Structure 1
Amino acid sequence: MSDTSTPVLPQANDLLDDRERSKLHWRSRRGLLENDLYIENFFARFGSGLTWRQGHGMNELMNLADNDLLDLLLARREPEGPLDTEEVREVLGMLRLSGGAARPRA
């Protein structure tokens, strides 16, 4: 008998495995330093706990041009149209919380 079992698909709230997290991190490299700072801080803070759902939201954000992504990160604008999904808003909030460069103390 041959094994005809169906592959198990991950659920939205399952954690990304190491391979998928690494691929997402690699795909998230950007041309603007400002974006890279947010993204590196995001992965340092949240990387080990990312879910498939959040990975999807991050992939959607990575489809944007660098300047459009930066506008979202800096809250100059909010997601609109097809980008305005729960997953994208969740990841955008996490990215904003991660912040970019360290801010000088007053």
Structure 2
Amino acid sequence: MNEQSSQDAALRKRLYWHSRRGMWELDLLLVPFLERCYDGLGEEDQAAFRELIDEEDQDLFVWLMRREWPEEPRRRRIVQLIIEHAESADSLGHRPV
């Protein structure tokens, strides 16, 4: 394994563990999005996801449950992408991972 792939694997592992929040509702949205969508995102959206998972659980819950939207456009976009993924997976009958 070369140095870049080692760094990529370490980043992926960190993202996975930071996406597992211990709050069922958040886990059902963040982990499947990471596993199914993250690699296909552009650099800007990947960076927004990395920043998003550093937020407090309470903020994530409010945003991902659509009770409020983040004020920052970049953060609002990644929240919308996560919600859209969950809705499309649900409409196709896919269960969370």
In which range does the TM-score fall when normalised by the shorter chain? 0.5 to 0.7
Query: What's the TM-score, normalizing by structure 1?
Result: 0.62
Q: Which digits, 9 at most, give the CA deviation of each residue in 1:21-50, with x for residues without a partner?
A: 343223222121100000122123313313
1:57 and 2:44 are equivalent in the alignment = no
1:54-96 deviation digits (Å, cap 9, x = unpaired): 222112221222121011011100112xxx032x222111110
Q: Spell out the pairing of 1:93-104 with structure 2 (5 A cutoff).
A: 93-99=80-86, 102=90
Q: 2: distance between equivalents of 1:18 and 1:78?
A: 30
Aligned residue for 2:32, secondary structure, equals: helix
CA distance in 1, matches of 2:39, 2:51: 19
In structure 1, runs of 5+ residues without a counterpart are 1-16
Q: Tell whether the 8 Å contact from 1:21 to 1:47 is kept in structure 2 after alignment.
A: no
Give the structure-2-normalised TM-score.
0.66
Which one of the candidate residues 17, 31, 36 is aligned to 1:45? Answer: 36
The answer to whether residue 77 in structure 2 is matched with residue 85 in structure 1 is: no
Larger radius of gyration: 1
SS at 1:57 equivalent: helix
SS of 2:67's equivalent in the other structure is coil
Q: Which has the higher contact order (CA 8 A, sep 6+)?
A: 1
Q: Note if contact 1:42-1:95 (Cα within 8 Å) is conserved in structure 2.
A: yes
Query: Aligned residues: percent identity?
Result: 31
- Match of 2:27, SS? helix
